[in-house]
């Protein structure tokens, strides 16, 4: 298998707007959580739309309310038919490959600090992996702050390894990359590492950023 970064498609999995982020229930009510989830998604899609590294963006979700948000931001909605996060990512991967993707970047939709510089950091790591591997298949993983999770996964070819998001996903992705003989890079970036899952995460987020995200979700 050989890598090709010429046509990178971004896959953004979103579970649901209503009822999502249940662990934030101690700090936010259901309506506030729904607005925050929608705001984070809109923010992420706006950043991706301005990033030259992405040829296309696919948003996959079982929630029909997500599709219009994706379409309004210029992304391609993928209506998830199977159950489970990784299954949804595989559905989005199929859509991306059918559209000509030679590489994919899986980027969960709960990264409230995402900015273009962090995406450039990922792209630079992918270029380094491509050079080090002499064009062989590559895997770039961005670790979550907790260090056992994955907050970004860049693959070329798109199916060089299977997505294994969930508890212990960082080690699972690293192991799969080694088993596949891929050129591997691990990215530690504070922007990519911060995802919003718990009240403790919420407390770390600046009030102005939180208010902006909530406003985007209305």
In the block, which residue shows the tokens 């799969």?
176
CB 157 within 8 A of CB 8: no
- What percent of the chain is predicted at pLDDT more than 70? 95
pLDDT score for 24: 65
Q: How far apart are CA 127 and CA 121, in angstroms?
A: 10
pLDDT tops 80 at residue 215 = yes
Torsion angle, CA of 128/12/30/24, rounded to 10 degrees?
A: -20
pLDDT tens sequence across 158-205: 999 999 999 999 999 999 999 999 999 999 999 999 988 788 888 888
pLDDT tops 60 at residue 25 = no
Sign of CA dihedral 15, 17, 105, 125: negative
In the block, which residue shows the tokens 């860049």?
154
pLDDT score for 218: 83
pLDDT score for 156: 98
Those residues whose C-beta lies under 8 Å from the C-beta of residue 50, and which sit 6 or more positions away, are 116
CB 177 within 8 A of CB 164: no
Rounded to two decimals, the pTM is: 0.95
Mean pLDDT within 100-124: 96
In the block, which residue shows the tokens 């249940």?
22
Per-position b or e across 73-107, b if 16+ CB within 10 A of its CB: bebbbbebeeeebbebbbbbbebbeeeebbbbbbb
Q: Which residue has the higher pLDDT, 24 or 122?
A: 122
Q: Which domains does the chain have, with CATH numbers?
A: 8-216 (3.90.550.10)
Mean pLDDT within 39-58: 97
Q: Which residue has the higher pLDDT, 23 or 198?
A: 198
């Amino acid at each position: 298998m050989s890598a090709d970064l010429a046509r990178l498609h971004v896959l953004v999995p979103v579970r649901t707007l209503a009822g999502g982020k249940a662990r934030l229930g101690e700090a936010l009510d259901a309506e506030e959580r729904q607005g925050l989830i929608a705001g984070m998604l809109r923010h992420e899609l706006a950043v991706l739309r301005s990033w030259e590294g992405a040829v296309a963006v696919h948003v996959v979700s079982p929630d029909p309310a997500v599709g219009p948000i994706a379409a309004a931001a210029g992304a391609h909605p993928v209506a998830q038919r199977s159950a489970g996060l990784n299954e949804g990512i595989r559905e989005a991967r199929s859509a991306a490959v059918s559209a000509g993707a030679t590489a994919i970047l899986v980027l969960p939709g709960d990264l409230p600090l995402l900015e273009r510089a962090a995406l450039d950091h990922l792209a630079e790591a992918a270029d380094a992996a491509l050079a080090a591997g002499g064009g062989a298949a590559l895997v770039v993983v961005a670790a979550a702050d907790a260090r056992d999770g994955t907050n970004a996964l860049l693959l070329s070819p798109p199916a060089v390894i299977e997505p294994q998001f969930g508890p212990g996903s960082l080690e699972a992705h690293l192991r799969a990359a080694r088993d596949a003989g891929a050129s591997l890079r691990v990215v530690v970036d504070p922007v990519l590492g911060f995802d919003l899952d718990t009240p403790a995460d919420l407390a770390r987020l600046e009030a102005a950023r939180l208010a902006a995200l909530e406003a985007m979700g209305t």
